[in-house]
Amino acid sequence: MTHYALRDDLSFCRIGEHFVFLDINNDRYFRLPNSMERALASYLEGSGTSDLDITGLIARNILVDEPHTAIGSRRSIKPAIRSAMEAPLPTRRPCLFELLEVLAIVLRTRVALKLSTLKAVLDGLGADQHTQPAQATPSAVLLEHRLSDAAAVYRRARLYVPVDMCCLLDSVAMAKFLRKRQLHAHVVFGVAIDPFSAHCWLQAEDIVLNDTVGNVNSHTPIRVV
């Protein structure tokens, strides 16, 4: 039997007996018909599914011939147990330069999300990380303090930007704000079903930087960037 993997711009999570997919190249979430869900579940469990059984998944370009890639080999994230938003705020307030910086980042990110695919925007985040010069790694305590402080500055400055807040826009914009300071966090996409809900947040290790623990834990991570 041919070995198949999920195509690179597609990710999924399993909630109970159901699968939810995120296609970042086409900017959409979707579900499969029940018969395809059963075929995919059997294939993942290695229960003797034949190529014929997964023909529909191959035809829809969900599974592709990738002999050296595991179907579940995607970045994962620790469960969130702390929130920078729910911790005491640092005393420092954003200066004028930071206010203008957040304004510029939010506006540029908003334009990018309107004119480009989600895949292009997320690929840009990865490119930003690779082009930054290496620095000495700070201690875990210092790094956490710097992350929390920078995230708080962004959240305070964001209140002065005349653009409606949005989880995707602000997670990507905050990630850019942090990376200008040599700080890195993951943009996490999550979903819930019955009823369907899609969400996005920024997380470093087990700390959520722009949301509450309860809200993010009500969603199952589907992609981590």
Q: What is the DSSP letter of 85?
A: T
Query: What is residue 69's predicted lDDT score, i.e. its pLDDT?
Result: 58
Token pair for 28: 């959409």
Query: What is residue 225's predicted lDDT score, i.e. its pLDDT?
Result: 94
Q: Residue 5: is its pLDDT beyond 70?
A: yes
Cα separation, 95 vs 56, in Å, equals: 56
Q: Which of 43-52, 84-93, 102-111, 190-199 has the lowest mean pLDDT?
A: 43-52
Q: Residue 156: is its pLDDT beyond 90?
A: yes
Token pair for 177: 């704000």
Q: In what order do the strands lie in the sheet with 197-204?
A: 82-83, 207-208, 197-204, 186-192, 220-224
Decide: pTM greater than 0.85: yes
Q: Which of 13-22, 31-40, 51-60, 180-189 has the lowest mean pLDDT?
A: 51-60
7 pLDDT tier (thresholds 50, 70, 90): confident
Give first-to-last CA distance, the chain, whole Å. Answer: 31
Q: In what order do the strands lie in the sheet with 28-30?
A: 10-15, 18-23, 28-30
Percent of the chain with pLDDT over 90: 62
Residue scoring higher pLDDT (73 or 153): 153
Q: Residue 64: is its pLDDT beyond 90?
A: no
Stretch (H or E) spanning 43: helix 34-45
Residue scoring higher pLDDT (79 or 56): 79
1 pLDDT tier (thresholds 50, 70, 90): low
Query: What is residue 96's predicted lDDT score, i.e. its pLDDT?
Result: 96
Query: What is residue 89's predicted lDDT score, i.e. its pLDDT?
Result: 65
Q: Residue 73: is its pLDDT beyond 80?
A: no
Mean pLDDT confidence for 16-37: 92
Query: What is residue 67's predicted lDDT score, i.e. its pLDDT?
Result: 58
Amino acid at 47: S
